[in-house]
Amino acid sequence: MIGLLYKGYNYVKFSKKMPDLAIFISTRILEHMYYKPEALFMQIWNFVTSGKDNNSPLVDAEGSGNPNGNVIENGDVKADHSAQTNGDCDKQLNGDTPNGAEKVTAKGDDNISPKQIVEKYVYEIFEHGTKQQKVKALLQLSFHRSLHDEFLEAKELLNVSNVHELALSSDMQTQILYNRNLIQLGLCAFRHGKIFEAHCCLGEICSQNKHRELIAQGVSNLKNQEKTLEQERAEKRRLLSFHMHISIELIECVNNICAMLLEVPNLARHTYESKKDIISRQFRRFLDIYDKQIFNSPPENNKEIILLATKYLQKGNWKQCCEKIFSLSIWSKFNEREKVQNILQERIKQEAMRTYIFRYISIYDSFSVDQLCIMFDLSQNVVHSILSKMMINHEIPACWNESSSHILINKVNPTALQTVAIKLAENINEIMEQNELTLNMRNPKFMFMQERRTQMKDEKSNWSHKKGDGKYGKGYHQHKNMHYKKNYKEKSMPKVFA
């Protein structure tokens, strides 16, 4: 299929001079190639271009090359298309239209990277394509760069002005492509150790537990939602082929790992204010359900393994946490497994140290940098940097000593017992006020006073009185003055006696 598209693209662009049809074929080639990994991409591309004779220095741009170029091997037709090389395509992108009788130098595709091949077609669409084609080409280029671990470049492409609005206002296929971009960008950020960015991208799709249908890898099965037969058929037609799927297991695990690394220090910091500054409501709900269970059996799936690792991380036990995380079944899907695991292990150590400090800050008067380095297997510079950031961001009330080897804790925050006592006093105060209000409502006098106060507030806030519809409206003073004038005239008139 891709070989036919490639030959058709070269034919309509250079032989027939039909740029509109060439742009359409370019979009079809991108749709078949943008999501493929580098090794598979190059295998397919080399197979597509393997029938070209790259030994000829000069070829005819019209395609009138060697008449004996057509060869049949194992049922596959391989033709000689040396004129339709990437050198001619690059020349076309630069604005130099190849002439029919012009001789150009043939250039092979063997040394061209997948990035250059995708960019060649994308830039051509940017130059001659429609608005809809440009948006899809931009999203496909961003997806391809995220797939090849170019996080900053892919992020800049998605941050182009109005690309979000244009994607959401386009057809359903473009919206699905945009959602797939967010997923792939989040996975790319996770491979680079950017946990917060990864959670932002993945959480936007996975927060409502509809990620399967948002990326067209499943249909919605809601109980209260009724669908017609046409709607069900339309959803099934939108489903992507299996070879284009992104692993749902990988998406869910990466999202939960990122939420774990962000939520555990946040929970340790706000121990008695659990509803404050919630980062991931979905993960918080999973953790609450896990904590409320009377007996927790050994983990049976990836989500339970991550929740068990969360409990170890809450205690500051980073070794057991890493052991559970690395036992997940998703690591075979990473190309550079050891590199990603080393980055993740360093991040787990840092978050375990932050959690340990938040949890035991009310007990200790000081923390030693050397002791923290030994406990969490971190370098002294990393520990010093983390502690300084925590103090600058006002996360802990502490300061450095003169030698910068210890941090001294300022006992400003209330202890655990004091925090619980304050919370209990606030709850008792609210209950007393509610009881007094309920008791006073039984008194008719109090009820009348409350109704009167409510009525007065309504009269003051009533806009109709300001517009002149009430008693003291627009014509009140005018009628009052007329009444005074009439009485004055009657009093000043001389009396006539008969």
Written as tens digits, the pLDDT of the chain (498 aa) is: 777 777 777 777 777 777 778 888 888 888 888 888 888 888 888 887 775 434 333 233 333 334 333 433 333 433 333 333 334 434 333 444 333 333 333 344 556 788 888 888 888 888 888 888 888 899 999 999 999 989 999 999 888 867 888 888 888 889 999 999 999 999 999 999 999 999 999 998 888 888 888 888 888 776 667 778 888 888 888 888 888 899 999 999 999 999 999 999 999 888 766 666 788 888 999 999 998 888 888 888 999 999 999 999 999 899 999 999 999 999 999 988 999 999 999 999 999 999 999 988 888 889 999 999 999 999 999 999 999 999 999 888 889 988 888 999 887 766 777 778 888 898 899 898 888 777 777 766 665 565 656 666 566 555 444 444 444 444 555 555 555 555 555 555 554 443
**Rg of the chain (C-alpha set):** 36
Q: For 453-466, b where at least 16 C-beta lie within 10 A, e where not — what string? A: eeeeeeeeeeeeee
Mark out the alpha helices in 61-130 (DSSP H runs): 86-93, 114-128
Q: Which is it for the CA torsion 241, 246, 250, 253, positive or negative? A: negative
Tell me the β-bridge partners of 194: none
**C-alpha distance across the termini of the chain, in Å:** 123
Tell me what pLDDT residue 86 has.
39
Tell me what pLDDT residue 235 has.
82
Tell me what pLDDT residue 497 has.
41
Q: Which residues contact 112 (CB under 8 A, 6 or more apart)?
A: 86
Q: Which residues contact 407 (CB under 8 A, 6 or more apart)?
A: 366, 367, 369, 387, 391, 396, 398, 399, 400, 401
Q: pTM of the predicted model, to two decimals?
A: 0.70
